[in-house]
Structure 1
Amino acid sequence: MVHRCLLALAGTLALSVSGMALGQAPQSSPAISYTRDIQPIFTNKCVACHACNDAACQLNLGSADGVQRGASKVPVYQGDRSQAVPTTRLFYDAHSEQAWRKQGFYSVLDGQGSQAALMARMLELGHKTPLTPNAKLPESIVLGLNRNNMCPLPHEFDAYAGVHPGEGMPLAVTGLTDQEYQTLQRWLAAGAPVDAQALQPSAAEASQIAEWEALLNRPGSSEALIGRWLYEHLFLAHIDFVGGQPGHFFQWVRSRTPSGQPADIIATRRPNDPPGTDFYYRLVPVQGVIVHKTHISYPLGPQKLKRVKQLFYSGDWHATSLPGYGPRHRANPFETFEAIPAVARYQFMLDNAEYFVRTFIRGPVCRGQIATDVIRDNFWALFQEPAHDLYITDARYRGEATPLLAMPGQIDDVGSVISLWHSYRDKRNEYEKLRREAYAEAPAPSWSTLWAGNDNALLSIFRHFDSASVSKGLIGDVPLTTWLFDYPLLERTYYQLAVNFDVFGNVSHQLQTRLYFDLIRNGAEVNFLRLMPADQRGAILSDWYQTTGKVKMWLDYEDIDTDTASAFKLDERDPKRDFGLQLLQRTKSLNVTPDPINRCQGAYCSRPQMSAEFRDVEQSLSRLVSRPAAGLKVINQLPEASMLRIEGQGGQRQVYSLLRNRAHSNVAFLLGEESRYQPGLDTLTLVPGVLSSYPNFIFNIPASDVPEWVEDMEAARDDPAKFERIVMRWGVRRSHPQFWQYFHDLNTFIEETEPLEAGVLDMNRYENL
């Protein structure tokens, strides 16, 4: 669709390149500066829809490079294509405007004879058709992921404008101020000059970069193998250096040039594809505006350097040869890196488990449906203690298991997808059988089976249809399912969904990835079932796989162990819930998010550290959570992730995420989700902070109104007219005059509470309530 181009999007004022008011150039300097005047407007009004691979028409407005690259009619997300498409990653796959033109991108900045630039005409169309303040948008304007990517070329604009007169840019949202509009039009009329400078590391950052590059590029077979493993596990990270500059992040690349020279990036499709030449691991600055959906931060500093040396460089082991980069080595990292002690590999991942789970649950690809349509809407994730992981402790078992841990997706022949799937499914099930039998001979699982090494040991995952979030701690009521990762499962999940996944791949590759992740989920659930009483595991599994799920159990899953005892002492009436409650009690020191709102005990359902005003707010809001939709029917009218902005006295405010947890009879199939949906069992979870990169709606509520808002929500039931009145009074629709103020404030709140996680949020999923 025409570039949701310049789509109304959001950035945060604090992320603006300039601290001056948007669009206001100093009166003493009438010349427009891209850095000072233009990028701040894009950051605050365009980047929220024009960033990453899912930018409308691939028009990425987070940097001068993206603006000059322009737009493309080729969609990145096209799950049914028979052939993979060339990769078009900004800053990687081409480095000049001319190179992007050869890849099919067209300019939105160049005038066409007597016609103004395409961007200028899109902005003009949007500016002359303002929206009715805070009114619902016409149904004729299709929004969200269902909108067709129209992407008109310059000579097609008149036809587009004739058919879509109300769909200029920013699209279907409160638009540019008059001053912003005039600034952009003056800049475009002047030929869209750019004066942007690339981000450079500070002296403190440069010193640490030199240390890390020296470490990963050490000579020797063992050192080269370690460097490769570390690179493949950190290539998605936005590195934050201890003592570094706020807002500076770096990422690992493979370069043809060594340290001390400008990086010459080797832009392979995957990080473990053949580099084709000698190379060096390098750390380069992350350029452009930081956007939340791709921002997965990772800390590096002296302590981490010491830890890496301890784990990988101090042991008595040696790699006698180096593996290649062919399909076999990509498919099975356990064979590729078997020379590196498994305990070092696993412990490195456990140290920052939240980062690794974020890479494949929240994802680097901007739209995560390959991962998210196979998971529940909320669950907890735990990890097996290395000393109780047989892959770590038993060399014989490890030798038998390793050949069975290969993953599909390297061969993307469409005609062979079924046979490939069957082959890898059978291999995985052979591994599950081996694991079941080996663990049946091991000591019964107990609390010591669970890793409790730091605050990454407990994670909460929330799915928001085609995206998901990961947070430290145990959030919400005890969920329906809990995942238990051991090392083989954690490593396979990471490689299948992060290292080996190709967003530009064809239907065969994406289907194999999706089907294997279904087996991964099942493996995580089976690992957890081993903690349950043996005679109740079958019933719990049956509850997870109701109706058609039983067919999937029969077709594709290995049988579970229903004989070997567990050492956990659990209430036989509901052992799964009792486990969750005991877990909460036993892990108080690790649980970074105590949750009295959703797990209210007694009369107090608020966080004790809050002011009296906000304790009352949370007490009122707690009435809505952990109640099935059958008793709170307004759930059926709420989107996946609503943000509540509560305004207190004296300019104070708090932000909460109101998450809708959809219930399903099972999540075992690629298609037919609606047929397995159980709306009467939906619940809400209320979490302080912003838990989604993609807010679906904002309610702005004075603290004194919260009791009335809650009462109206309870009374609305499934009456659209009553819910409409709630939206009209407290909702921030796309057409709200202060839309951008409230939208930006969500990220400002992240900056205040978790500054390293801040980044421009995405509004592609902001709904037309």
Structure 2
Amino acid sequence: MPTRLLLAFALLLASLGVRAAAISYVDEVQPILTQKCVACHTCYDAPCQLNLGSGEGALRGASKQLVYDGTRTEAQATTRLYYDAHGEAAWRRRDFHSVLDAQGGQAALIARMLELGRSNPLPANAKLPEDLDIAITRSNTCPLPGEFAEYASKNPHGGMPFAVTGLTDGEYATLTQWLQQGAPVQEQALTPTAAELSQVEAWERFLNAPGARENLVSRWIYEHLFLAHLYIEGGDQRHFFQMVRSRTPSGQPIDPIATRRPNDDPGTTFYYRLWPIQGVIVHKTHITYPIGSKQLERVRQLFFASDWTVDAVPGYGAQRRANPFETFAAIPAQARYQFMLDNAEYFVRTFIRGPVCRGQIATDVIRDNFWALFQDPAHDLYITNAEYREQATPLLAMPGQFDDIGDLLGLWRNYRDKRNEYEDLRRDTYAAAPLPGWSTIWTGNDNALLSIFRQHDSASVRKGLLGEIPQTIWLLDYPLLERTYYQLVVNFDVFGNVSHQAQTRLYFDLIRNGAEVNFLRLLPAESRQAYLDDWYQDSGKLKMWLDYTHVDHRTPSALYLPGPDAKRSFAGQLLSRYASLDARPDPINRCSNGRCYREGLKAEQRDVEQRLSRLASRPAAGLKVIEQMPEATMVRVEFADGSREVYSLLRNRAHSNVAFMLGEELRYQPGLDTLTLYPEVLSSYPNFLFNLKASEVEDFVGQMQQVSDAKGFEAITQHWGIRRSHPQFWFYFHDLDARIRETQPIEAGVLDMNRYENL
């Protein structure tokens, strides 16, 4: 029976009082929400905090209070799902209102939102009305049930799903029937396998073992893995766990302790537990970390193979949060650093990608594309030189523990001066050490070479050296890596006030500068000033004078880097020397022999990549289409054999410098923007999608090369673009998820469409 007739029949039965079969939330409703709602309604930036990725989120409902408010003067109460309240009544006390309850003779709020969206369908694959604001910075009205009529009259296109192709007739019928049945909700509990339970029990025994050394190590590990989606190697690839502090020991139901930060005082006896993650996995918050017997043995070997002691486990408080180097000083620094290096991609993801979902407070301090390397522990003086470590540790404290707005400038100056005193100490100590060479760079596994791509207020991290040779490269030692992690992850409070967020941003600027300067030590001394001048152009020179300390322009490097461009020479040797560690070789963006495609492809795929490569690594001054493009475009290519490939086409915005918190658009250098093209989904937030057949790639590339203005680009989007109003939008959008699932199943999750543009 056609779905329209099914809908009419269901409504007729309802009007006659005939009881229809009960709709299952788990089997019928949540899959629809996952398909059509979760792409917008998860994480802290979900409109009205309505999280539809789980039954708990649907029952919690919506709130008028914003999580992202860069102007608030007081920190606000946290509203983390599963943590800060439990059950519908508790969330009502926190000013969340139901979207499922029928009230005052009116249908449930979600029913009226769906009907409003259904009554105003979008023209097929047409641009949205110009006056329809879809930006993530738009003002969300979040109407209460009694305010809906006014909302609907003012926002005729404000129904759900918002500004995108809506529900099918069958989906609408299912949700309507479920709502008429009272919208019963059930949570689908994750049931670990026997093998997973065995590993969970082993890790919980380890983490809760008695003893001062054991207690301190477990605390450090918890603070470094609390954010992770832990998976058991060899277990079910759909099962993930989260490390929490619980009032209850192993074997009993978990009762999580909801502190504001993971390093706050839990206030009671607690146990470390591995809690199955509930709800839909979404890509933007899905930062994975492997655990199992092999990893557990590695942890034991790292932390307990040497003979070290601790007299008493430190307490909690602002000073303990501000300086984890003091808090955990008893644990050998070598063990701490090596633990982070073993899975460096995870740690960089936590602060570059992160689960806060709107990260411009951090991302506007980094370039749009750069590479990250790590200093080998054997060449890290904080690890090897106890006297230096003792001098440096007090200077490594970080701001953000106090959020007095009136004292923001004083707090900032205090921590800036400490940091610069540390940099002076570091510069002088390293000047007396053996000269840096290739052995300075850690090469322990394929986490050693990372690429970072920023898209305005989000960013992504991948193993391997992707894209053109970047303008900047970071070399992170242990103090840099640990401070970045604590400043942007452990100590960062998304619910904090403007002072806390400003201190976080300002200090991260110093960390970035430290990583850049550390890399400069590898280049010839006489070349360093020119690179600094390039990285800190215009107003950046003022920032260098105001806030940064002096750079070592005298101590030589042990590397031989011939030619006029030492950085390019370094990059070339890096790619050659460490080719076996490069997880993602990239001949598309760095095409040197005329074959601009990956090895092992079929002829049709080679031809596609060869043609697409003409768009990569060219400045916008010579490829004008870049000026029209969003920052994360996906290109889906269909091949004659029925297969397809998805390429990310990332716009790398050039800046004169990234040293200031405000006025970023004033420092853009649009003529220097470039595109990186790579056959993966490299962003959690696609901005647009083109779909084309392999036979059309030559025409597509040719038209892209000819674009000179917005009108020319619109012709391309009209021909190949998948607009929000496309009848098959959801098929194409979720095919991006599917592609990740096929190639990297552990990393797969629903992508976010809040930033999908109206092109």
> Normalization by structure 2: what TM-score?
0.97
Q: What does residue 11 of structure 1 align with?
A: none
Write the deviation string for residues 639-672 of structure 1: whole angstroms up to 9, x where unpaired. 0000000000121100000000000000000011
Task: Choose from 715, 720, 725 the match for 2:715.
Answer: 725
Give the SS at the match of 1:166. Answer: coil
Task: Choose from 133, 139, 148 the match for 2:139.
Answer: 148
Q: What does residue 535 of structure 2 align with?
A: 544
Task: Choose from 127, 137, 146 the match for 2:118.
Answer: 127
Mapped to 2, the partners of 1:107 and 1:590 lie a distance apart of: 52
Question: What pairs with 1:67-106 in structure 2 (closer than 5 Å)?
Answer: 67-106=58-97
Q: Is the 8 A contact 2:225 2:243 kept in 1?
A: yes
Write the deviation string for residues 491-547 of structure 1: whole angstroms up to 9, x where unpaired. 000000000000000001000000000000000001001111111111111110000
Q: Is the 8 A contact 2:707 2:713 kept in 1?
A: yes
Say yes or no: does 1:347 pair with 2:338.
yes
Mapped to 1, the partners of 2:713 and 2:631 lie a distance apart of: 16
Task: Choose from 263, 278, 289 the match for 1:287.
Answer: 278
Q: What does residue 259 of structure 2 align with?
A: 268
Q: What does residue 116 of structure 1 align with?
A: 107
Question: What pairs with 1:170-569 in structure 2 (closer than 5 Å)?
Answer: 170-569=161-560
Matched residues, number: 746
* Structure 1 position 320, deviation (Å): 0.8
Q: What does residue 565 of structure 2 align with?
A: 574
Give the SS at the match of 1:456. Answer: coil
* Structure 1 position 571, deviation (Å): 2.1
Q: Which amino acid aligns with 1:466?
A: D
Give the SS at the match of 2:262. Answer: coil
* Structure 1 position 29, deviation (Å): 8.5
Write the deviation string for residues 113-164 of structure 1: whole angstroms up to 9, x where unpaired. 2110100000000011110000000011101212112101111100000011
Q: Is the 8 A contact 2:188 2:278 kept in 1?
A: no
Q: Is the 8 A contact 2:59 2:185 kept in 1?
A: no
Q: What does residue 33 of structure 2 align with?
A: 42
* Structure 1 position 243, deviation (Å): 2.4
Say yes or no: does 1:749 pair with 2:745.
no
Write the deviation string for residues 409-463 of structure 1: whole angstroms up to 9, x where unpaired. 0011111110000000000000000000000000110000000000000000000
Mapped to 2, the partners of 1:84 and 1:146 lie a distance apart of: 20
Mapped to 1, the partners of 2:736 and 2:563 lie a distance apart of: 44
Say yes or no: does 1:740 pair with 2:730.
yes
Q: Is the 8 A contact 2:687 2:753 kept in 1?
A: yes
Mapped to 2, the partners of 1:302 and 1:546 lie a distance apart of: 50
% same residue: 69
Mapped to 1, the partners of 2:702 and 2:235 lie a distance apart of: 48
* Structure 1 position 476, deviation (Å): 0.7
Q: Which runs of 5+ in 2 are unaligned?
A: 1-6, 11-18
Alignment RMSD, CA only? Answer: 1.4
Q: Which amino acid aligns with 1:422?
A: R
Say yes or no: does 1:625 pair with 2:616.
yes
Mapped to 1, the partners of 2:573 and 2:208 lie a distance apart of: 46
Say yes or no: does 1:160 pair with 2:151.
yes
Q: What does residue 591 of structure 2 align with?
A: 600
Mapped to 2, the partners of 1:203 and 1:302 lie a distance apart of: 14
Q: Is the 8 A contact 2:220 2:328 kept in 1?
A: yes
Q: What does residue 705 of structure 1 align with?
A: 696
* Structure 1 position 31, deviation (Å): 1.7
Q: What does residue 641 of structure 1 align with?
A: 632
Q: Which amino acid aligns with 1:390?
A: L
Q: What does residue 644 of structure 2 align with?
A: 653
Q: Which amino acid aligns with 2:40?
A: C
* Structure 1 position 572, deviation (Å): 4.0
* Structure 1 position 604, deviation (Å): 0.7
Mapped to 2, the partners of 1:162 and 1:541 lie a distance apart of: 56
Q: What does residue 15 of structure 2 align with?
A: none
Mapped to 1, the partners of 2:164 and 2:485 lie a distance apart of: 37
Give the SS at the match of 1:539. Answer: helix
Mapped to 1, the partners of 2:756 and 2:714 lie a distance apart of: 16
Mapped to 2, the partners of 1:288 and 1:619 lie a distance apart of: 41
Q: Which amino acid aligns with 1:484?
A: L
> Normalization by structure 1: what TM-score?
0.96
Q: What does residue 675 of structure 1 align with?
A: 666
Q: What does residue 127 of structure 2 align with?
A: 136
Q: What does residue 575 of structure 2 align with?
A: 584
Q: Which amino acid aligns with 1:761?
A: L
Q: Which amino acid aligns with 2:727?
A: P
More off after superposition, 604-613 vs 699-708:
604-613
Q: Which amino acid aligns with 2:206?
A: L
Q: 4+ residue stretches of structure 1 with deviation over 3 A? A: none
More off after superposition, 311-320 vs 119-128:
311-320
* Structure 1 position 329, deviation (Å): 0.4
Give the SS at the match of 2:579. Answer: coil
* Structure 1 position 627, deviation (Å): 0.5
Mapped to 2, the partners of 1:268 and 1:568 lie a distance apart of: 48
Give the SS at the match of 1:655. Answer: strand
Q: Which amino acid aligns with 1:183?
A: T
